[in-house]
Each structure stands twice: as C-alpha cells, then as structure tokens.
Structure 1
Amino acid sequence: MPTRRAVTGRSGEPRARFAEELRLLRTARGHSLRQLGDRLGWDWSLFGKMEKGETVGGPEVVQALDTHYGTPGLLLALWELAVSDQTQFRERYRRYMALEAEAVSMWHFAVSVLPGLLQTPAYARELLASGGLHGAELTQQVDARMGRRSLLEGEGAPQFRTILSEATLRTALRDVGEWRKQLEHLLEIAERPNLTLQVLPQEAGLHGLSSTDVWFLRLPDARTVAYTEHGYGGDLIEENVAVERVQRAYDATRDLARSPTESRNFVLRVLEELPCDPST
C-alpha cells in the first residue's frame, strides 16, 4: 500500500490544494484525463474541471479516485476541506482533518456522541440533522463522513483506540432498528486488529475529560497533536506542553475504563436490552 502523502507543503488554499493533488496523482500514473474517465466510468471532462478547481465534484467520485490511486481517505479529507472552505468548518478543524489524513495512529474519547469514523449512515444523518443541516447539504455531508471511514480500513490503516462514555451508548437513535444496526456495527469493528474499543462506566464519576471530546493524532514525524471539541466548535492543540497536559487527562480516564473484552460485553448487553425487532 502506498505511503500516506503529506498534506502540508503545497497550496495552503483548500480548493486549490485538492485540485493540485488530483493533478499530481494522475500525472504520476501517466494517465490522460480521457484514460482516467474510461477507467472509472465518469465523463473525463469532470476530472478536468476538478483539476482546474472549477468544481470539487461529489463524494462518490472522490471515493472512487481514492480507491483508484490507493490513497484511502486522503482525497475525501481534502475534498471535505475544499467544501468546508465555503461552508461551516473553522480553520482549526480544516487543519485537523488534513493532519488526520496522514496520521499513523489515533486515539479518542467521546463524552456523548460516537466518533464519525464509527458511525453508521443513519446515526450520522440524525446527528448532522440535529445540528441544522438538511436537504442536499445533509446528504453530501453524510456521504463524505461515510467515505472517511476508509481511513480505518486496509493494510496500512492506522491504529485507533476509542474510549466511549457510557452515556454515548445510552443515547439511542429515534429509530430502534437503526440504533440496533449502529450497536452491531460497533461490535463488528471492535474485532478489527487495528481498533481498540473501551467503555467508560457511569460509576467512574467525574474525571478530567468529563466535558471534553478529544482526539490525538500521532504523525509520521513522531509529533502528537490533539483536537478538543464541543457541539459548537473545537481547538487544535499542537504545542507539546499543552498536548501532554491533555494526554495525562486521557491516560487517567483510560485507567477508569473497562477492558476491551468487558467493553465489548457491555455493548452486547445494551444491544440485548433493546426491544425485539418485529421484522424478525
């Protein structure tokens, strides 16, 4: 699998950076736009417009390009940056997403909402709709979020540890059937060798991350950055002393969490507590 490409070092403008990466990947393969169109089944003129920055395309074509070039999740992350440059994302979140695409390992804590990389389409849709998205924009963001899950798939996928507060697993979707599918999805991905899932029990009480969702990214240059977020914003932390302070809070929280085996059994119990599916 190709080494993850560094996102920084070229154009700093998201839309131009996305177009530049598309152009570089195609020319490195020695393909013309027509050849690319023939291989992927899209009109070659679409790729030409994307490489000129006239359009960013949709998540389906970008995901196909990620697969074609062997860059799982990278182009989708850049696409989200290009889209977000015109919509609601803040600059710090844009930089976080760029760093996420090149991370070699990730770890995370959730206060009340499952991380996007572990969400099913129904979960993502209900969550994003609750934040005010609707119509085509909502569908576009759900598709992009689903595409980003490829970051955790494949031979070169980074190691990922997530600690979910019990509240995360007690806050169900309105549709019981879809909530069942979400819990089943968690159980399935918890079996992957690169993913560790833990649950922080309610009885653990207050702790250093009681009101803070946090992500840590280990980068190819051995740096670690952190991103803390709440419902209406977030902060990217890159200074070593500040990252270490948040890391200590994370480590203390992890010590309170159930083991991976106990956590899987807990998710299974939550699933078994759901009302029976009348369709079965």
Structure 2
Amino acid sequence: MTARKDVPAGPEPCVLCAAIATQSTHGWSDQQEHRARNSSRGIATQRPADYVRAVIATGDGVWWDSSDQELENRVAFRLEQQRRVLDASEPKAISFVVTEIALDQVVGSTSVARGQVLHLLQLGERPNIAVQVLPRTVPNNPLLHGGLITLDFAPSAPRIAFAPVPYGPSTYHDQEADTGPMFRAYERVRELALDLDSSRTLLIDKLKGME
C-alpha cells in the first residue's frame, strides 16, 4: 500500500462506478481494464466543462484558499483527465453506473445539471460507452459508503484500487486481499443497476423534468 496525493481537483460528483478498458487491436480477449467507481460523487470522465467547473467551485475557499487561479488549475486538470480517457488514441470500452440520487443533486444550477444529464445520454450513444443508472429504490448497494476506484491492467500489472477522499492523500491498494472485495463491489453494483435501455429512458425522463 502506498499513500499518494495527486493534483487535487475538488470533490467528485455523479458516478457510482465506472469501468474503462483499453481496446486491443486483437479484440477484447486480451484487453486491459481500468475500472473506476465512485458513490454519490464521481470521476471527471463523464462531465462537461460547465459541470466540472461547478463541482470544483464548491470546494473553493473550503478545501483550499479561495483563488481564481487555483480554481482554473483544478478545472484544467480535470478536463485533461477527461480528454485522455474519452479521446484516447487507443479506444477504451467504458461503462458508467450513475446513482439516481446523484442525478437529482443540483450542482451549480439546474441548467448545469441538465447539461450533465444530456452529456451522459450523448456518451451512451457512443459504441464503446455504456451508461447505467442505479435507481434510488434499489436496496443493498455495497457502495453507499463513498468512492471506490479500481484499475485492472490484465496480466501486465497488478490490480490497483483506492478510495478517493475529499482532502489529503488516498491509499492505493495493490494486494488481492484488498482489491478483490473492491472489484466484487463493482460487479454487484452493475448487477443492481438498470439495463442500458431502461437507464436511457430514466435519463430522458430526468432531462424532461428539468425543462
């Protein structure tokens, strides 16, 4: 285990869990997987710029001294993360699970929140991206406690997992005794979530409700 503090970029909204796999030129049989999951918050890969800015602005003057430059640095860092995943030269198979509760959380403004839902719908139209929603009524969600991110690089490197924290360094786990339960939690959440078509229908209904 190692404690690591990346360039912090503020709190994380929206996604419960996500799976990202680097596509092999030989298909998916020898793919590398990078799975990330987060509870009522989320990772930068599914957020438009307005949403990124609104989320990070909630930490300005709280988790760091209020600073326009610091805010811009954090926004730029997150958007670069997003670009590297969504626009990578090696196509990635990406799967997001979003909590319905997080979709109802207004971040910045209703307009910004609506833009985020629309963005999720647009991402779901890509052939390499799947978006699922976990309804608020589903019991036994194993990730109610908070964020969880795992990375699986197939046989080339050990699996790694960590739980993002709002302040300070995260502990990166690389022992199977730790990463095994984290990966199982991810699989359970995907099983509990709506299928792709039902998730899309729910997202469209949420979008209509914000008009």
Unaligned runs of 5+ in 2: 10-19, 23-30
- In the other structure, the counterpart of 1:30 is none
Matched, 1:225 2:170: no
SS at match of 1:241: helix
Q: Which protein has the bigger helix share?
A: 1
Q: CA deviation at 1:155?
A: 4.8
Q: How far 1:142 moved relative to its partner? A: 0.7
Q: 2:35 touches 2:150 (CA, 8 Å); kept in 1?
A: yes
Q: Tell me, yes or no, if structure 1 residue 253 matches structure 2 residue 189.
A: yes
The amino acid that maps onto 1:239 is Q
Distance change (3 Å), C-alpha of 1:153 and 1:104: farther
Matched, 1:137 2:65: no
Q: In structure 1, how many angstroms separate the alpha carbons of the residues matched to 2:32 and 2:131?
A: 18
Residue 213 (structure 1) aligned to one of 117, 126, 147: 147
Structure 1 residue 223, shift from structure 2 partner: 3.0
Structure 2 residue identity aligned to 1:213: G
The code of the aligned residue for 2:205 comes to: R
Distance 1:108 1:193, change over 3 A: same
Residue aligning to 1:68: none
* Residue 4 (structure 1) aligns with: none
Deviation string 1:241-261 (CA, Å, 9 cap, x unpaired) is: 211111122222221110122
Aligned 8 A contact 1:110 1:168 in 2: no
Q: Percent identity?
A: 22
1:27-85 residue CA offsets vs partner (Å, 9 max, x unmatched): xxxxxxxxxxxxxxxxxxxxxxxxxxxxxxxxxxxxxxxxxxxxxxxxxxxxx95xx3x
Larger Rg: 1
**Secondary structure at 1:162 match in 2:** strand
Show structure 1 runs of 5+ residues with no match: 1-79, 90-99, 276-280
Q: Which residue of 2 aligns with 1:188?
A: 122
Distance 1:108 1:262, change over 3 A: farther
Q: TM-score normalized by structure 1?
A: 0.58
With normalisation by structure 2, the TM-score equals 0.75
Aligned length: 181
1:90-149 Cα offsets, whole Å, 9 max, x none, are xxxxxxxxxx9x993323333222321111112111211212253011112112211222
Structure 1 residues 112 and 244, CA gap change in structure 2 (3 angstroms): same
SS at 1:226's partner residue? Answer: strand
